[in-house]
Structure 1
């Protein structure tokens, strides 16, 4: 269904008793304890979409182990080695040794991707990859002759798979970088296996943060917004205003996610499970470029929806509603924020739990308390090296200022003090070449 069709039906959407979100948000409200993401399952689902493959119907880890054991045993002259092979690859419920052979074995984990909190993250990354015109190739990992047998058994039981998603990415710029960075990792399978959780956790955070910073900028295509980090080894002195203000500002914007996205569900026909889902900015973009007749239909539909929505949620409706698409969207988003800002209401409680989930589940590795400076955004060494390798990509090296620009494109910004700390860190690691004392003449290499 088209955006215009969704708009025309907006006036007739039945407002449900409770507010909910089914799309665009990779986390939900935190209840008794933080949710746990199964990043192996998420990785399996992501690789299935990226490589355009999946397990054949009925093929399971158990059936693979049975057939792989038989295939390997038939090529061994000494049966006593079988026990050793079992210990290496097949023993234990996790079969941990097997999953270190090649990223493709993570496909066995994909069946668990729709459980718990993981399903929301999977849906997000699936929408990123569904926009690609072709699959991402995976280079062959270096394997021994036994592992080659295991890999051959798996590959004989794979079938083609086209990623499917009803969601048009809310942040196209980040979807593009995610696909690009995943493509790079697939050219380095061992590095991918070592950094699967870090990569997916990083992008889950970057998306959630940039979504929050863009959620009210619905009058234009989303773009990366400044969000200042420091290295976890740096001091966050009080005079560093950009560093001190970034996390409080981000948390304030995160509080707008649930109100606006739950309202957006109605724009996308909340009761139609298979209807395409569009970001709010796409609706505004469509109306701006539509014919006069379509614009009038869209504005009138939003006006009728506003009356129903506000009446159901107990929000005062002005005698005269706005007559332009931008003013109507501004009114609706403001009304949604008002609904969830009333202290003591169930909506306020739900939204507080959503913000807690962001802090304790999504952002837990990227936030630290730093005394008088309060809570600040940080990057530790592992995330910094991963991000550096992704930014340099297939190139041999990248000029330092270009590297900083690549970080910004993905949603990570540094002030001047942190820039110097970065150079010092790279010099200690040994992956920097300094042509002069200026940052313009510093080049950073990958650590792969």
Structure 2
């Protein structure tokens, strides 16, 4: 479970679970590339080695042979290869957004986060779409092109062995992907929003669970939002206490804790912190104590702590791991660490880039977590899922919470008002238990 030889690392680097790095430039992502990279894993396809321009030439040859008027190709070129209409034919074609050998490191690291959340789940067949004759030919050309150029090597053969950090969220992610994969056009229209939603939920729940490693498998933790057209006020204690401020606070622990988690394990077999702890036993205690003393001595000698720390010999693996995590965090702590700026970038840039669609500033209330109406509709459809047409409101709220989205009573009433304006509410009585919400797809 832990490395056979533990030595204090010279640098704090992270290569598992989250794309957290120490400089602002590391957070310049291309979301189109991330989508293409994710699609190659979801549909179990090797990354393409050529760009969409080469594919367009193959389509031109195909249509020139089957059309009575070859010049009609230029009309088709304008229809499908301009304004990205090509990608609305099938989700699989999004793979052209991630060309092998041209993926920037930042986007790949963010894409790897989603692959970790995906945890090996695959959709074997693309959804059946209601395609017209022209679109069927383009899709057929893609299938022929892809089989011809497909690498025989397993696309994940070089992937690190990672257990899901948040099994409950991975389960919902897979469940929601299955539902979306059966709704081709809805999938394509909402794929970007879906990916951004789960990127936020994953990071938020990772942060809220990071310090609970000794309690076993993570669970959905309260994270309160408001609907974006609501007013925020100090009287809404759940929103204030368990909203943005809580998230910001816990984000500070992600990089230091995950770095230590990775330091303790073989690089190709990194497990979540909570799973690492479950695998520790008394046989590991001596090694952990020695490593702890070496780690703190190294940091003291390099003056990374403003005030020298001491290692207290631990009598249990829990005590040892607690001290190691504290020693790692103290490097970045404002009061006692000299690496403060190296943890500020992961916190600030994660909020600015990945979490931004769900954060608003509301006057005296400050920063709050919000859901706009488009995301509410998407989340509602995901929560109801493919095998149901509607859910009682309280059941719907439970499905939201299972994904890490919590609303207080005031926001829940706002949701009912919103659903009623949309016309997808059925009231059997004035009782809240008799309010049903229908999906819109």
Asked whether the 8 Å contact 2:27–2:106 carries over to 1, the reply is yes
- 1:103-252 paired onto structure 2 within 5 Å: 103-111=91-99, 114-132=103-121, 135-156=123-144, 157-158=146-147, 159=150, 163=156, 164-219=159-214, 220-245=216-241, 246-252=243-249
Counterpart pick for 1:74 among 65, 69, 86: 65
1:371 aligned partner:
363
1:347 and 1:80, CA in 2 relative to 1: closer, same or farther beyond 3 A?
A: same
1:325 aligned partner:
317
- 1:325-364 paired onto structure 2 within 5 Å: 325-343=317-335, 346-364=338-356
Asked whether the 8 Å contact 1:128–1:178 carries over to 2, the reply is yes
Q: Aligned pair 1:302/2:297, yes or no? A: no
TM-score normalised per structure 2: 0.91
- What is the alpha-carbon distance in structure 2 between the residues aligned to residue 19 and residue 40 of structure 1? 29
- What is the alpha-carbon distance in structure 2 between the residues aligned to residue 329 and residue 221 of structure 1? 17
TM-superposed CA distance for 1:46, in Å, is: 1.9
- What is the alpha-carbon distance in structure 2 between the residues aligned to residue 16 and residue 285 of structure 1? 24
1:153 and 1:183, CA in 2 relative to 1: closer, same or farther beyond 3 A?
A: same
Secondary structure at 1:53 match in 2: coil
C-alpha RMSD over aligned residues: 2.1
Secondary structure at 2:356 match in 1: coil
TM-superposed CA distance for 1:162, in Å, is: 5.3
TM-superposed CA distance for 1:438, in Å, is: 1.9
Asked whether the 8 Å contact 1:89–1:97 carries over to 2, the reply is yes
- What is the alpha-carbon distance in structure 2 between the residues aligned to residue 319 and residue 51 of structure 1? 49
TM-superposed CA distance for 1:168, in Å, is: 1.4
Secondary structure at 1:146 match in 2: helix
Secondary structure at 1:255 match in 2: helix
Counterpart pick for 2:78 among 87, 100, 106: 87
- What is the alpha-carbon distance in structure 2 between the residues aligned to residue 424 and residue 30 of structure 1? 44
1:445 and 1:319, CA in 2 relative to 1: closer, same or farther beyond 3 A?
A: closer
* Unmatched 5+ stretches in structure 2: none
